[in-house]
Amino acid sequence: MGNLFKNGDIFRWVRLIAGVGGASYGLYAGDYFLFMLGVLFVGLAVLNKGCCCGGCSTSTETKAIYKDFVKPYQDKRIK
């Protein structure tokens, strides 16, 4: 249980505060959609997940996609 709140950054705290605020206001106003959205944000913050769940991260490898097609330009006027 102690692992859940380690390695937090500012965005995790923003999600937690927005979730608690949205869920509490959703309960107060009787808006169940806002309450469920707040619960979702609290869940994302507690589990330390983003909205993409790692799907939008880019790879750090350098890949030459068009290596065989694109040749470096060489000016023929300069010798």
* DSSP track, the chain: -GGGGSS--HHHHHHHHHHHHHHHHHHHHT-HHHHHHHHHHHHHHHHT--SSTTTTPPP-S---TTTTTPPPP--SS--
Distance (Å, whole) CA 47 – CA 49: 6
Kindly give the confidence (pLDDT) of every residue in the chain, 79 residues in length, as a single tens digit, with 9 standing for 90 and above: 566 666 677 888 888 999 999 999 999 999 999 999 999 999 988 887 776 655 555 555 566 666 667 677 778 887 6
Largest CA distance in the chain: 78
- Has this prediction a pTM greater than 0.75? no
Q: What is the chain's mean pLDDT, rounded?
A: 78
| Domain boundaries, given as residue ranges, for the chain | 16-47
| Length, in residues, of the chain | 79
pLDDT in tens, 35-44: 999 999 999 8
Radius of gyration of the CA atoms of the chain, in A: 23
